Amino acid sequence: MKCPYCGSTLSKVLNSRPVEETNSIRRRRQCEKCEMRFTTYERVEAIPIIVIKRNKTREPFDRDKLLRGILRACNKRIVSLEQIEGIVDEIETLILNSSTKEISSIELGEMVMEKLKEIDEVSYIRFASVYKQFKNINEFIIELEKIKTGEI
């Protein structure tokens, strides 16, 4: 494991604990060179999840890409990193526990919007505007009205 601060490969584990709801272990480490502390997560390598894009191409599920997309939607909002990581963990667990290891990007986007809607409406709208590819302000207003009336 490389230290994110100095790049040294020498570190010691200070503590380990399982992460709830996922098959991973959280390890708190300290670099033996610069003595900075950092956290790593260890997961069992599973059968890869494949995402079927809108254009019918397939690509491996990228947890970090999903995390970045949600982070972008939640930028400057009151949503914590733990909540965002929780969304990604929940979605990943749902997919891994399903009978198929393929998911469409449409299903994935719907799952994210469902979770964001429960946490923060502004983040939901930000994500939806990219995911649903709003072409004009009227489509944006229609989505806002759905939120106001409780349709969503």
On whether both 38 and 61 belong to a single domain, the answer is no
On whether both 7 and 53 belong to a single domain, the answer is no
Whether the full predicted model's pTM is greater than 0.75, yes or no, is no
On whether both 104 and 142 belong to a single domain, the answer is yes
On whether both 106 and 50 belong to a single domain, the answer is yes
On whether both 52 and 73 belong to a single domain, the answer is yes
| pLDDT tens-digit map of 133-143 | 888 888 878 88
Domain carrying residue 16: 1-44
Q: How many domains does the chain have?
A: 2
| pLDDT tens-digit map of 18-65 | 887 667 899 999 999 999 999 998 877 667 889 999 999 999 999 999
On whether both 16 and 56 belong to a single domain, the answer is no
Residues sharing a CB contact under 8 Å with residue 99, sequence separation 6 or more, in sequence order: none
Nearest alpha-carbon partner for 127 in 63, 61, 69, 86: 69
Tokens of 84: 């965002």
| pLDDT tens-digit map of 60-111 | 999 999 999 999 999 999 999 999 999 999 998 888 888 888 999 999 999 9
